[in-house]
Amino acid sequence: MARSDGNCSLSTVHEWESPDYEPLLPVSEKSNPLTRDIDRVSAGSIVRMLQACDAQIFQEEKGNTYKGLLSDQVVKTMMEVTRRVEIILKDPKDSLVVLSGCGTSGRLAFLVASGFNRELKELNQRSLYAYIIAGGDRALFSSQEAPEDDPKLGALSLKKVCEGKKRVLFIGISCGLSAPFVAGQLDFCLQNHEVYTPVLVGFNPTHQARDEPIPGCTFTFRSVVQRMQELAKSQTAFLINPAVGPEAISGSSRMKGGSATKLLLEIVLSAAHAAVFSHAPITSTGILQHMRAYENALDVTYAQSEAISALLEAAGQSLRCGRCVYYLGWGSLALLGLIDASECKPTFGADYKDVRGFISGGYRELNNNEGPLTSLGPEFCIAHEDFLHLVLPYLSDKDTVLLIYTHSDDVSEVVKLASRVREKTSNLHAVYHQADGDTAATVQQDDINRLCLSTLKITWLSPAPGSLLHMQWELSTKLLLNAVSTGAHVLKGKIYQNHMIDVQVTNSKLYYRASRLLQKLSGCPQHRCEEALLKAIYRVDELSTGITSSDTATHTRTARSRTKVVPLALVSLLTGCSLMEAESHLEQQSIVREAVAVIIDKA
């Protein structure tokens, strides 16, 4: 397929803000007008589109309908939450700050909690931050979508983490204001308000919070949000929920939602630390300045769009021929690699082997709640040594390997690993961050440049103070890796327009998203689309009453072991053919996007 150069006009930038634009969908689920053609443009244009989408995070004007990240209200609430953290930092006895979420939101809770605990340790303070991720630590590196639907599990895990605590600031993250797991935790906080103060972080206005009944509960996400809104008036609950615009790939909240989560939490916690340990006052100017520093990180990263496009091409090429992409990283940047890789499975229906991350030091470096998870299987072997044993012997030029580090890491180690990899493949690339004027590792870097097919150097001029600089590097790495893995899957044909057509239907949010997508692409009514979806999940041409009377949890459990559910449902809806025929059609045309495009054109 010939791919064109896309461009975006001002009208498409602001189109999503109109109340008439996809009015039934919350912002986090809307399709972004900027990326309508992302499935048919060149790698360079994909990167430009992602850049324009990410820039919406900081866009000031959001009409009257939405409040943005830089709005007075958001900044004010961030200051209030910062003060809460400050109080706990000054008197940490029997207190805890808990960050919690599902999927990438939980992974970022881990990243942020670990980073700030490390900072406390360096200041000889005891750790104060805890994280919870739906599905436990295995969800840090693998796709565990089902626990997201379990509010009781959410409340129980919160209760367990906080045993014996007298004061807890709970920060629940759900980009779509939608995860029942988080709703259960917030409800628990509201019922135990003498100990727990709830904060909700997400990226939809409150009236767009999910309102579907949650089985076994009297509340919905929206009703919990409404209760919090009441309490927010007396500052006993807090909502930080700016709109950051629709995701580049509809509903893929790991992208902008994840980036905005990371920066919001880091700004709040950094400001609280600065207030306590450096006596810096908590001001709106300080918060806004910090936001601008992250916006700058975005500009600095995308200034390298040509080099990013080349990486995306290489990764896309590997995936297209059935080979793999490997991220070999150091420190927290490696964790961002692990996080990016883990989302490819639910988002694109990928295999865990397609995109994999590895971290120098493995679990020792991570210090996660449950310790090493290697016994769970190869998917959980995440150290560089594991890469050397399990992957390196089979590596070829068709695989893409990406080294990710900074010049504050041990660069001689990077050289060693690069040499080992270079013996097996020339398709080796490096991405590294360097503060301007830092010449410490110049010699080793020259060696790495010689070993790699491409090296992407991101230099930070007039760098920010230590920890902020590091957080900028992390955000920059996240943007870059999101672009590489998303772009590579686009090039592999996993996206139709800007929708994930091969999404896994493994929890209720994904189930309803799949049903809506089928309605949009087939033009068929909801009941027919749900029928087709169920037929594809259960692999039957006739639905038994046993199937139709089962609940969504049963459907999504069954879908866990299935592949290509949504493409199959779509092909059978559009052609009226049996599942077997649809399956053979998809087998003939392995690129799902093209199979679907051909049928839609014919229909």
427 is a site residue for ligand F6P (CB under 6 A): no
Listed ranges 221-229, 362-370, 392-400, 502-510: which one lies at the site for ligand F6P (CB under 6 A): 502-510
Listed ranges 29-37, 153-161, 252-260, 310-318: which one lies at the site for ligand F6P (CB under 6 A): 252-260
| 3-state secondary structure (DSSP) of residue 529 | helix
* Among residues 26, 33, 68, 101, the one that binds ligand F6P under rule CB under 6 A: 101
104 is a site residue for ligand F6P (CB under 6 A): yes
Letter string b/e over residues 542-554, b meaning 16 or more CB atoms within 10 A of that residue's CB: eeeeebeeeeeee
214 is a site residue for ligand F6P (CB under 6 A): no
Site map for ligand F6P, 128-147, x if CB under 6 A? -----------------x--
CB 128 within 8 A of CB 117: yes
Q: How far is the CB of 457 from ligand F6P (least distance, A)?
A: 30
346 is a site residue for ligand F6P (CB under 6 A): yes
CB 530 within 8 A of CB 555: no
Give φ, ψ of 200 to 5 degrees: -110, 130
220 is a site residue for ligand F6P (CB under 6 A): no
CA dist 83 and 88 (Å) reads 9
Q: How far is the CB of 22 from ligand F6P (least distance, A)?
A: 17
User: Which lies closer to ligand F6P via its Cβ, residue 500 or residue 571?
Assistant: 500
CA angle 450, 407, 266 (to 5 degrees): 135
* Among residues 254, 273, 494, 535, the one that binds ligand F6P under rule CB under 6 A: 254
Please list the residues that pair with 171 across neighbouring strands.
Answer: 99, 199
User: Which lies closer to ligand F6P via its Cβ, residue 179 or residue 491?
Assistant: 179
CB 116 within 8 A of CB 332: no
Site size with ligand F6P, rule: CB under 6 A: 21
Site map for ligand F6P, 257-286, x if CB under 6 A? x-----------------------------
* Among residues 95, 253, 305, 522, the one that binds ligand F6P under rule CB under 6 A: 253
CB 318 within 8 A of CB 109: no
205 is a site residue for ligand F6P (CB under 6 A): no
C-alpha distances in Å from residue 387, one per residue of 18, 154, 325, 409: 48, 34, 12, 19
CA dist 133 and 131 (Å) reads 7
Listed ranges 12-20, 124-132, 171-179, 292-300: which one lies at the site for ligand F6P (CB under 6 A): 171-179
Q: How far is the CB of 112 from ligand F6P (least distance, A)?
A: 14
Q: Name every residue whose Cβ is closer than 8 Å to that of residue 457 and which is 6 or more positions away in sequence.
A: 432, 434
510 is a site residue for ligand F6P (CB under 6 A): yes
User: Which lies closer to ligand F6P via its Cβ, residue 148 or residue 354?
Assistant: 148
Residue with tokens 């039957």: 540
C-alpha distances in Å from residue 237, one per residue of 40, 151, 272, 290: 45, 19, 18, 24
CA dist 246 and 281 (Å) reads 34
Site map for ligand F6P, 173-192, x if CB under 6 A? xxxx-xx-------------
Binding residues for ligand F6P, per CB under 6 A? 101-105, 145, 148, 173-176, 178-179, 253-254, 257, 343, 346, 507, 509-510
